[in-house]
Amino acid sequence: MEHKMRKVLAEFSYALKPIEKGYNRRSLYINLGDRVIKEKPVTDLMIDKFVGGKGFDLYLMWHGVKDDTKWDSPENELCIAFGPLCGNTSYPGSGKSIVTTISPLTGIPVDCNVGGHFGPYTKFSGFDALELQGKSDEEVIVYIDGDKGVVKILSADDQEINSHIFAERLIEEFAEGPDKFQFVSVVSSGEAANSALITCLNFSFWDKRRKVARLKQAGRGGTGRVFRDKKIKALVVKYSGLKVDTNNSVDLETLQKTGLKLHKEIEAGDATQCHMREIGTAHLMEIMNDYDLLPIRNFKYGQKPEAITLASWEFKKLFTQGMADGCWYGCSLSCCKAVDGFLPRSGPYKGQPVCVDGPEYETAAGCGSNLCIWDPKDVVELNFYCDTYGIDTISFGTSVAFCMECYEYGILDKEKTGGLDLTWGNAEATFEIIHQMARGEGFGKIVGLGVRRMKAIFADQYGADPKLLQDIGMEAKGLEYSQYMSKESLAQQGGYTLALKGPQHDEAWLIFMDMVNNRIPTFEDKAEALHYFPMFRTWFGLQGLCKLPWNDIEPANNAETDEPAKVPEHVQNYVDIYKAITGKPLDKHELIRQSERVYNFQKVFCMRMGGGRRIDDMPPYRAVGPVTEEEYLSRQERYDKQLTEKIGIDPTGKSTSEKMAIMREHREDQYRQLVDSVYRRKGWTPDGFPTVEHLKSIGMDLPEVLEVIQRYTK
Amino acid sequence: MKKVLKTYPDKCIACHVCESACANLYFRIDDPERSCIRITETAKLPEMNVCNQCETCVAACPTLALTITPQGVVMVTKKLCIGCYMCVAICPTGSMQTYHGGMHPFKCIACGVCTKSCPVEAIRIVQE
């Protein structure tokens, strides 16, 4: 085997043991600096208070870092954990890993939920979490052989690290023959992660039908940069023993029965609901455009006739259909679409056929409509290069959109961009940015720093107006916004900016409930939603689950239930499968409580690292209302009506700028009131800090947590 | 040419002998829940459910545990099966079977043991 040629820098053997009710009760610690490899016990306290997945990640990180740890401090950790439900093959969407680290973009913990086979295989190899700390002095590969019970740190002088090639090479190297490729999974980043901050990790799974390594991304917050800063080229796991009962559930029959019920529901309903099996999340493109919510020109507009060229049926023409396209076994929602044999027209892989995973909605909107790039093939090319270079498509799209708007205003010009013409829709210039980002040079290197740092550079070095940059730079806490236009939905504004890691839609996606269906009209209603949904969605991260099978398919009678937005039958499914795997009692209330403990712990962790304050929950005004006159005028009828009906001001005779000022004052005040309501509902002070009483009430009054709270509330 | 089990409900007398024969061959147990062929008695003709080898399930299998023989028979390779039951859900005729306490789905492979047991020739192996 070729990997025998690699130098073994450290080696650790461990006892192979069966999982007990979803848990191994041990984690794997690796220090890249001193090359210590050891196992740590997973304690009862960890299971009781932190459950698994993101909870274990945060617990391990908390005890690994110091108060002043930065993203590039040696003690910063990159943790990957899986959760007790992770890896079961019966219930759709059960193969997720959760990655956490101190983010290069935000300086606080970031968490990413990612598919692929690495998580379940590592769990079945014997560990409930993987904790990577320290920095290596040479490039390394970490190899977990879950068949033999051996962990190795191997030398890695490989030249090619871009994931679409590197992942495949490592699978070939570590698998025992082509018929065993599906038993190996690789985590890698790419060239861009050597210098760019908006970089991600690629988790592979071997697609047996296409005979190619597919890649899923732990995208947000710069996980790729931390990975490469530690000089890790790849993590490789091999595990060959997957069976239906590998998770050692206490009640396999209930698990299978519940999974089969959902499989049948997906089979019956997907074609008339979200079409996930046909087109994945890209089905949202035309819906968002129809509802004036698709980000266009750096979130300035929500709708354009041109956007029809990026409708899902256009992507469907490029996707290979009719395959089992799940990122983990047993997911019949099968949203992982792919473009096979795509021929890039730029960059180092120009003209070479490649398999591109996606694009998903976020990529199509971020690298398409938000930049006014209207050719689906250009979007696929950006998707490919982002993935293989290890760049987060969301942060990339939002960062380039910010640059294009700055170029429109003259803040940037060709001299500052090194000759790049960043007019809207210039795909060639966007390709060049991404290649520069990979090479770590030119203007692309600046874009790779993300919006917050670009704002400082443009203000300091180019004399740009900081207030305008703050208004149009779509970041909060340092993280770039994901791809929904939130300015017409107050609840979604909160959903974004109140998200602990930064503006990502995976805590609360309330646009339709709030703006379209008007189901949460009062501040209290919105606060309740902004409490429930972040807690509910946090639970997926504790368990190793995907969110999509929760509400991207619904029971046929869901609309007739008391709380259709919660999809009560599916909530019960989760309660049932949790009990079936772990044997522990749970109901829908304790489910929320499990999340609440970890959510508040993460909030306090943010405070410990210097974030988590009210000021960190403030959005850029572009996320709240119209920044520019043309933006106001694009929705003048709606806005004038709001002035009359919501604010009681007659717009007649007022200039656009006067109306905008009134509108802004009102909207910012509304946002402040929303934050007050949400903090109250969450058990937090007006400053955004959990109260001691609340922490006690949820059983999270751990001494180390209270110590941080006391620092902030003195 | 595809090898399939063809049913003739108008001849079926719902004696369930075919179910016994199938379960005994497959699982060494006389339990209709373990039979690949299922006979349901109704007010009219008995319903005879058996795989027609349509291959719909093959495309759904994430591990390629479902394959097609040269005779067109869909087979489950237990060694590769991870028991997800996606094939059970997608089967348009409800002929991919499960049983209480089972880990893998099972199905008719047109072996013909049931035809030999049927007293009224309500099931036959045919080439389509």
Mean pLDDT, range A20-44, rounded to an integer: 98
A209 in B contact zone (CB under 8 Å): yes
Show the CA angle centred on residue A358, arms to residues A355 and A364, nearest 5°.
130
pLDDT at A575 over 60: yes
A182 in B contact zone (CB under 8 Å): yes
- Best probe of the A interface among B84, B87, B106, by most A CBs < 10 A, is B84
User: What gap in Å lies between CA A218 and CA A195, rounded to an integer?
Assistant: 17
A211 in B contact zone (CB under 8 Å): no
DSSP labels for chain B? --EEEEE-TTT-----HHHHHHHHHHHSS--GGG-SSEEE--SSSPEEE------HHHHH-TT--EEE-TTS-EEE-TTT-----HHHHH-TTS-SB--TT-SS-B------HHHHH-TT--EEEEE-
DSSP A286: H
Whether residue A234 contacts residue A157, with contact meaning beta carbons closer than 8 Å, is answered with no
pLDDT bracket for residue A5 (50, 70, 90): confident
The pLDDT of residue B128: 83
Percent of chain A whose predicted confidence (pLDDT) is above 90 = 96
Structure confidence by residue, pLDDT tens digits, B43-73: 999 999 999 999 999 999 999 999 999 999 9
Chain A environment of B88 (Cβ under 8 Å): 260, 263
The pLDDT of residue A3: 61
* CB spacing of A208 vs B63 below 8 angstroms: yes
Peptide bond between residue A120 and the one before it cis (omega within 30 degrees of 0): no
pLDDT bracket for residue A255 (50, 70, 90): very high
A251 in B contact zone (CB under 8 Å): no
The pLDDT of residue A321: 72
The pLDDT mean for chain A works out to 96
A109 in B contact zone (CB under 8 Å): no
Alpha carbon of A160 to those of A141, A170, A629, B88: distances in Å?
13, 11, 48, 43
pLDDT at B24 over 90: yes
Percent of chain A whose predicted confidence (pLDDT) is above 70 = 99
The pLDDT of residue A45: 98
Mean pLDDT, range A609-626, rounded to an integer: 98
Mean pLDDT, range A417-428, rounded to an integer: 98
* CB spacing of A326 vs B62 below 8 angstroms: yes
The pLDDT of residue A713: 78
Chain A environment of B60 (Cβ under 8 Å): 324, 332
Structure confidence by residue, pLDDT tens digits, A76-104: 999 999 999 999 999 999 999 999 999 99
Q: Which two tokens stand for residue A136?
A: 């290596």
pLDDT at A253 over 70: yes
* CB spacing of A324 vs B85 below 8 angstroms: no
Q: What's the ipTM? A: 0.95
pLDDT at A2 over 80: no
The pLDDT of residue A323: 75
The pLDDT of residue A4: 61
